[in-house]
Structure 1
Amino acid sequence: MAERHLEIEQKYDAAADFVLPELDGLPGVASAGEPEVHELHATYFDTADLRLAANKITLRRRRGGADAGWHLKMPAGADRKQELRAPLGRPLIVPAKLAGLVAAYTRGAELRPVATLETRRTVVRLLGADGGELAEVADDLVTGRGPDAEPARWREIEVELGSGTPELLKSAGKRLRKGGAKRAKSSSKLGRLLGGAVPAPEAAAARAAARSRITAATCNGKAPAITTGEVVLAYLAEQVEAIIRFDPMARLGEEDAVHRMRVAVRRTRSALRSYRPVLDAERIAPLGPELRWLAQALGEVRDLEVLRMRFQGAPAFLLSDLEKRERAAYRRLNASLKEQRYFTLLDGLDRLVADAPLAAGAERKARKELPGLVTRAWDRMAKDYASIKTSGDPDLARHDTRKAAKRARYAAELAVPVLGVAAKRVVKDTKRIQEVLGAYQDGVIAMEHLDAAAKRARTTEEAFTLGVLYGKERCEAEDARDRLAITWSQTLGPSF
């Protein structure tokens, strides 16, 4: 397992004659430690076309210093990076765990050395009254060598927050700037070294452009001028970005990551179905089955996560069994996320945004077109709901209604930037229907698992506990079922 660390730091460019200012008197700082000097040698790895650097990700193997080893740094917000570490291992073999975490970007391309950096680092630790490290100030003299360039030399100052406050980080930066340092233009040494060789991240840029068009139009009061295609494209761009962002978190098993990635996949698939009149059917057709495949791989893990959390207090043998099944499901998920099939899907999703497969209807004004499309999704849900009373399998009809409610909810979510309050009301209503049906469905599934577990109970106490849990699930499921009609009667439906 890779070691994880949230890095919060700011970088500053400094001239060769820059003098590091006194660092006492900063918020919370009681003293500054004695300077420590380290000689660091780092080899950076990337694909031949620098896909990691294009997405502000760095992967290196560094010798020297207190944290020698492999370091993977991924953006995690302003001045923040999620850093994952692994032991030094072999010089040219990227640890499989780290390589897997960037697979959504590399997509099967080889990771190889692209640059080396030699750094003479002078570290000053800022300490609190209890001796704890609040921050670390590193004064770096750097020599970088790229594949096709002369060595570059520069000096930079890094301030990395430890247990200190954001105010300390801000104050330290202010003191450095007053002394003549300037906020670094690049967030990484590799980015500075490679400069213009780093390609513009076309897929990410396309996603950002799609979102910015909608944001600019709505903020400037020009929403009526937005086309339906622009709104659909912006929503799809947001979901594709979420799939890629949550990919490494899902691989690591971080809390709620699989669920959020799965939701983004479902939203994408739902938008492609609900907004077919806006999209080129032939071009989007291959994406549907592949998104369904990915949703199922994520769903297996998520469903077991939900059961495990739901069954807290159950006999140990049942919880142990669920934990084993969940670990096995995670292994299958990670195997799926290594397949070329998955990488091909990601390529297809990038093209979906960068080269939008829009149909003629996409040019129509969103204000006029979206109400009908959202209403159509609502009507499909209403038809499924009505079938519950006449179906020979009411549970199947409830399940279909729940799926239709999700599609209607996502269709309305997409329209919110243009239709505003009216679309938000549809989102609220469909979410309530979805939640009630979800509570019923979850209860039914839970009862099935408890019934199967009861056959394996080894003691009377275990059987009794399982019976109590079964009764609780049954009551909650029946309550949800009975609340469905009331909840439906309280919905208003679309009124655009």
Structure 2
Amino acid sequence: MADTKREIERKYEAAAGDELPDLTRVGGVSGVLDKGLAELDATYYDTADQHLAASSITLRRRTGGDDAGWHLKLPVSDGVRDEIRAPLSDTVPETLAALVRSRVRDAELVPLVRLRSSRDIRHLVDADGNLLAEVSVDRVRAQRLSGGTGTAEWTETEVELADDGDPAFLDKVDKKLRKAGLRRSSAPSKLARALEETSEGTGPPTAAGPQQPPVTAGDHVLAYARAQRDAIVELDPAVRRDLFDSVHSMRVATRRLRSTFRSYDKVLDRGVTDPIADELKWLAGELGIDRDQEVLTERLMAALDELPPSLLSGPVRDRLDTWSQGRRGGSRQRLTDVLDGKRYLELLDALDTLIADPPLLKAAAKDPAKALAKAVRKDFGKVAGLVVQALDLPSGHDRDVAMHEARKKAKRTRYAAEAAAPALGKPAEALVKAMKSLQTLLGDHQDSVMAREALLELSAEAYAAAENAFTYGVLYGREEQRAAAAEAALPETWQTVEKEARV
């Protein structure tokens, strides 16, 4: 069983003979407790071509200290990482191997570097004895295990914030350490420094730095596609950990990619992208198996909460809950199986290949200001046609369908404008904002359509069970009002969109 700890720390370079300054003079610190010396022995694992190190991810097996075991560290932001722990074992635990699968794919994880550290530990505590931060002076000995035979030694100081501590406290400690002559480490981790100093001239792997500024239309489209590919890979561990909004965010990345392939079919050959788009559609479907049902249930439950007690008749909440559970077709294990499956990993490989060797067409070499704007205008024209069609139709099924189709095209236009924004500037940015506003209005209308369909189904079930169906009718009427309000607002919203959308 793995557990997670949010790690917020700063590292400083120090000479072997450097002494820590008097940290009792740091604001808020009432005492510095000597916690003794710990001998730590850690072996870091990676693929032969160091995919994890290139993504600033570390996976290690460590003995010694009070947290012996396997540790996987995933970057969150500068100086912040999530450390996921698993018990000590001889092989990489599957719980941790799964979290790096989107990076590793089918490659083997092998011992890369061994770090042995003598850690002199101090605890900074407040007046009540509560831990504020742990300060350690580490004397590190690094040995390369694969990809070289080099060794290195250095001394560094590490300051790790206590759980739930205020990150601003680290600024106070930082000021004191810098005044004493210490400087922030240029390496983000011990492993990064070990790889640099034991590389024997080959150089350590580095995370993908900034790409060259896009010049052509193809450059801009590929930059956007690359960002979505990266998002899918980076969100994979979060989805496996069931972190908030991770499934939705990965699903959006798949939709952005599919939309990009379709909008810019004059830039990227659809003979290559269509099969990948089909797989992205499959993945989005797997990610959304339960998500759409959850959103619909939350809407209906919220509507129930708004009703006065006098309008609640029968076991409405219980029936809604039973209905919702019965319509759920997925599970956490099902989604994990998808992410571990061959089909998903082959999709990631296909995306890598597309980015590395893009199927560029003639328009890819053109001026982005013209080629991208043309594609965006084409998508916008489709939205306009559907909105005009919806406005010309009477309320009912046909208008509902037209508004739903307009919503989907508004999303595609928004994503196309996002990809074009670096080249087109403010006009594209204004279109993104306008499409988002339109999408919100049309989305609320479509949610109302789905809610009314669900309420008809629920009321039929209630009637068959000899339950009072009055409340479902009340909710249906309110959803009709919400849909009517969205339809009434559409003309004015569309006028605003047309004024703001000038690409």
Tell me the TM-score range normalised by the shorter chain.
Answer: 0.7 to 0.9
Within 2, Cα distance between the matches of 1:387 and 1:190?
A: 60
Counterpart of 2:351 in structure 1 is 349
Q: CA deviation at 1:258?
A: 1.3
Q: Is the 8 A contact 1:107 1:340 kept in 2?
A: no
Q: CA 1:107/1:379 → structure 2, altered by over 3 Å: closer, same or farther?
A: same
Counterpart of 2:71 in structure 1 is 71
Counterpart of 1:452 in structure 2 is 457
SS in 2 for 1:84: strand
* Aligned counterpart in structure 1 of residue 295 of structure 2, from 306, 318, 330: 306
Q: Is the 8 A contact 1:308 1:323 kept in 2?
A: no
Counterpart of 1:403 in structure 2 is 408
Q: Does 1:285 align with 2:283?
A: no
Within 1, Cα distance between the matches of 2:74 and 2:427?
A: 39
Q: CA deviation at 1:209?
A: 0.2
Taking structure 2 as the reference length, what is the TM-score of the superposition?
0.86
Q: CA 1:322/1:31 → structure 2, altered by over 3 Å: closer, same or farther?
A: farther
Which structure 2 residues correspond to residues 294-373 of structure 1 after superposition, within 5 A?
294-312=283-301, 313=305, 315-316=317-318, 318-319=320-321, 322=324, 328-373=330-375
Q: Report the AA paired with residue 419 of structure 2.
A: L
Q: Is the 8 A contact 1:134 1:161 kept in 2?
A: yes
Q: CA 1:333/1:227 → structure 2, altered by over 3 Å: closer, same or farther?
A: same
Q: Is the 8 A contact 1:265 1:291 kept in 2?
A: yes
Q: CA 1:199/1:453 → structure 2, altered by over 3 Å: closer, same or farther?
A: farther
Q: CA deviation at 1:370?
A: 2.5
Counterpart of 1:91 in structure 2 is 90
Q: Is the 8 A contact 1:50 1:198 kept in 2?
A: no
Identity of aligned residues (%): 43
Counterpart of 1:221 in structure 2 is none
Which structure 2 residues correspond to residues 139-150 of structure 1 after superposition, within 5 A?
139-147=137-145, 148-150=148-150
Q: Over residues 250-309 of structure 1, what are the superposed CA-to-partner deviations in whole Å (9 max), with x where a residue is unaligned?
A: 221211111111112111111111111122333323321111111112222431332343
Q: CA 1:319/1:255 → structure 2, altered by over 3 Å: closer, same or farther?
A: farther
Q: CA deviation at 1:31?
A: 1.5
Q: Is the 8 A contact 1:315 1:465 kept in 2?
A: no
Counterpart of 1:103 in structure 2 is 101
Q: Does 1:435 align with 2:440?
A: yes
SS in 1 for 2:330: helix
Between 321-330 and 290-299, report the one with greater CA deviation.
321-330
Q: CA 1:269/1:198 → structure 2, altered by over 3 Å: closer, same or farther?
A: farther
Counterpart of 1:227 in structure 2 is 216
Within 1, Cα distance between the matches of 2:35 and 2:478?
A: 63
Within 1, Cα distance between the matches of 2:108 and 2:53?
A: 14
Q: CA deviation at 1:72?
A: 1.0
Q: Report the AA paired with residue 490 of structure 1.
A: T
* Aligned counterpart in structure 1 of residue 250 of structure 2, from 241, 257, 261: 261
Q: Over residues 127-184 of structure 1, what are the superposed CA-to-partner deviations in whole Å (9 max), with x where a residue is unaligned?
A: 1223221111011122333214254332221111125444432332343344443322
Within 2, Cα distance between the matches of 1:152 and 1:166?
A: 32
Between 253-262 and 237-246, report the one with greater CA deviation.
237-246
Q: Report the AA paired with residue 174 of structure 2.
A: G
Q: Is the 8 A contact 1:28 1:164 kept in 2?
A: no
Q: Report the AA paired with residue 91 of structure 1.
A: D
Between 441-450 and 20-29, report the one with greater CA deviation.
441-450
Counterpart of 2:379 in structure 1 is 377
Counterpart of 2:44 in structure 1 is 44
Within 1, Cα distance between the matches of 2:90 and 2:440?
A: 51
Q: Report the AA paired with residue 32 of structure 1.
A: V
Q: Is the 8 A contact 2:261 2:270 kept in 1?
A: no
SS in 1 for 2:340: coil
Q: CA 1:415/1:449 → structure 2, altered by over 3 Å: closer, same or farther?
A: same
SS in 2 for 1:43: strand
Q: Is the 8 A contact 1:311 1:319 kept in 2?
A: no
**C-alpha RMSD over aligned residues:** 2.8
Which structure 2 residues correspond to residues 120-131 of structure 1 after superposition, within 5 A?
120-131=118-129
SS in 2 for 1:37: strand
Taking structure 1 as the reference length, what is the TM-score of the superposition?
0.87
Q: CA 1:31/1:430 → structure 2, altered by over 3 Å: closer, same or farther?
A: same
Q: Does 1:480 align with 2:482?
A: no
Q: Report the AA paired with residue 78 of structure 2.
A: A
Q: Which runs of 5+ in 2 are unaligned?
A: 306-315
Counterpart of 1:8 in structure 2 is 8
Counterpart of 1:492 in structure 2 is 498
Counterpart of 1:136 in structure 2 is 134
Q: Report the AA paired with residue 423 of structure 2.
A: V
